[in-house]
Amino acid sequence: MVECTPWFIFGISFMLASDLPIEILIHIASFLKTSDILSCTQTCHQWTGAFETSLKGIISIRNKWKLEAISGIMASDNNIYAHNSSRIEEIQLCPWLDMSSDQLGLLQHQFRNIKRFIAPHQSLNSKTFGLGEDWELWGYSLTYLFISLERRESGKQTRAFVECLKYLTCLEHLEYTETCWAQVLNASLGDIESFHENLPSSLTYLGLDLRLCTLSLDEASRLKKFPSIPNISNVKLAIQEMDLRWLCYFARKYPNIDTMSWNSPSSMYFPDLFHDEALALFDSLPPAFSQLKTVNVDSTPGSKPSQIVFWRLLQHSNVALDTFNYCLVNDLESQGLLETNISEIICFHANTLKKVTFGTDILIDNPYTIPTALGKLNCVVDLTINGISNPISIAMIMDNCIVLKRLVLTAKKIRAPPISTSTPHGLCLLKISCAILETDFFTYISYRCRQLRWMCLDRTKIIDSVLPEVGLKIKMPYSHLAFLQLNQVRFMEVSNKSNIPLGLITLHSSCKLLHPEDPTIYRLSFTGSGPLWIQARWKYPDYTVAKMRILPKNEANYVQEAVDAVKTKTFSQYQLELKEELSRGFVDWRLAAVDRCWMSGKKTDNDVHIWRRYTTSNHDI
């Protein structure tokens, strides 16, 4: 967003104001801040309609100076917000803004059509919260609320927020974060029940990030007697400290949720988890979460006991999941969780799961560990594995996921066996990121996945032995791709100690042209029959962004003749300029067919290099 006043724009184009079409005025407005756009609506009547139309409806208060400026404008006689305040639909505060209750009250009185209000950590002053606001003004407009408050000893701020909830009759999405600095201030059962009693009936998404106190025996015995909230369908629980018996409360409270996100609390910081007592309580509960289909789990260090209890609850309720997203952090317990607990979870839901996302930063040397832990996924059609530090066996994944259609892998290295040991697979989409691949991988994929239609390689390194006469060969004879995307892909000779990628790439197939959308990124493709020659240059050996360009026909012919000269060792004088380049080798990629090819790197249309020299010679291409 441009930090300038509208007077700067007026000074340039005031003489042309009456002649500028509305489309250009709207485009000019897109570079201005919301407050500047509002100024424009009152400065020139010919611009009023265009700038009112361009208002995006968002005010972002990024610092205290911006807050003071807006407060000053609202209190002045020349209030630029007065006329168009109804167009503003979202207010975003920055962390640590420390907005007072009175300042928030001014915003509420000025902007009464707010649909989204975002107040992250320490953006609101917890000492004054509840004194000067009027939440009833947003009661019929606010649908999205993200708010963070500090729980203080008196608890009046929390009570004030709970009280305001009953006015927000249209609220659909609520994320509430509560910070406290002493365990004695953790929220009690009475606090949480009062919070739920005041939730509006329109609410469908609830996110809670707070600390909960230990339940007494009497409170634990009453957990299953509290009324439920049937309208909530999506819950996110990021509980930092929690007695695990609270899970029984949540199971009772949200009977109709279809999506649940669970951030496992850690026994490292809260040792009294009541693991056995929670498991005993589950047996006395009726089945819960009957509508649950999607579970998102983020593990934390030392959270193994809470994860075991959580999954025991789902198994007790016989939940039939179809989507499972799991993030496993690297700590002392992670290897055991991966090999035992995760395997049991997957096995229990193997016949219902259709989409699985698994991420971990555990350091594992065995490429079969993660596929073995995930086990047989008979119904999964969409699988994502983010294991950037780990090698992975793609063959074992395909053997375990026989109906898989979409596979996304982020790995250290991906291994493939000889094609003679493989059976056909119906994979349609493959995306690989940050991995080292050998050329045998592509032959394996082409042979086994003959229905593959979309392949993306992102920040990958392709390695193999390279002979100057034949280059680095990539063979995909059975692959007819609808779309091939190569983003920052480096081709390397396997024993290349200098780590310099190969700079010449030829693609043999029939492709169509894609035009670049971003001028800083060159997306390459071509029309007609191959081969297509591409030049790629890296400023440094480990520099990921390449300068790339498609060679025009005359240069491509020149390079092809030089390649032929390498094979016969009969360089002509004009071809000697490429001898050193070709001595490192080139990339020879052959596919059955490609409908569209998209290669990206840093754009270079007129890069100065030795290939340009021959165009001034008398050699006839």
Q: What is the mean pLDDT of the chain?
A: 80
Please tell me which residue, 26 or 192, carries the higher pLDDT value.
Answer: 192
Q: So what's the pLDDT on residue 375?
A: 86
* Distance (Å, whole) CA 254 – CA 261: 13
pLDDT band for 610, please (50, 70, 90 cuts).
Answer: very low
Say which residues have a Cβ less than 8 Å from residue 116's Cβ, sequence separation at least 6: 89, 90, 91, 142, 143, 144, 145
Query: Residue 599 is which amino acid?
Result: M
Contact between residue 239 and residue 208 where contact means Cβ atoms under 8 Å apart: yes
Q: So what's the pLDDT on residue 521?
A: 46
Please tell me which residue, 204 or 531, carries the higher pLDDT value.
Answer: 204
Tell whether the model's pLDDT for residue 322 goes beyond 70.
yes
* Whole-prediction pTM: 0.83
With the C-alpha atoms ordered 4, 9, 10, 11, is the resulting torsion angle positive or negative?
Answer: positive
Averaged pLDDT, 285-302: 84
Tell whether the model's pLDDT for residue 317 goes beyond 90.
no
Residue 227, classified by CB atoms within 10 Å of its CB into exposed (0-12), middle (13-18) or buried (19+), is: exposed
Q: So what's the pLDDT on residue 30?
A: 62
Q: So what's the pLDDT on residue 417?
A: 87
CA nearest neighbour of 337 among 264, 401, 275: 264
Report for 189-198, 274-283, 541-550, 589-598: range of highest mean pLDDT:
189-198
Indicate the range of 4-18, 74-88, 196-210, 402-416 predicted with least confidence: 4-18
Q: So what's the pLDDT on residue 257?
A: 94
Averaged pLDDT, 63-85: 81
Q: So what's the pLDDT on residue 618?
A: 30
pLDDT tens digits, 489-502:
888 888 766 667 88
Say which residues have a Cβ less than 8 Å from residue 467's Cβ, sequence separation at least 6: 585
Q: What is the CATH number of domain 1-56?
A: 1.20.1280
| H-type alpha helices, 146-216 | 156-165, 189-197
pLDDT band for 444, please (50, 70, 90 cuts).
Answer: very high
User: Helix/strand/coil (H, E, C) string of 339-355?
Assistant: HHHHHHHHHHCCCCCCE
Contact between residue 89 and residue 58 where contact means Cβ atoms under 8 Å apart: yes
pLDDT tens digits, 103-137:
999 999 999 999 999 999 999 998 889 888 999 99
Question: What tokens appear for 312 in the block?
Answer: 């025991």
pLDDT band for 355, please (50, 70, 90 cuts).
Answer: very high
Number of helices (H), then strands (E), belonging to the chain: the values are 19, 26
Domain ranges (residues) in the chain: 1-56, 504-616
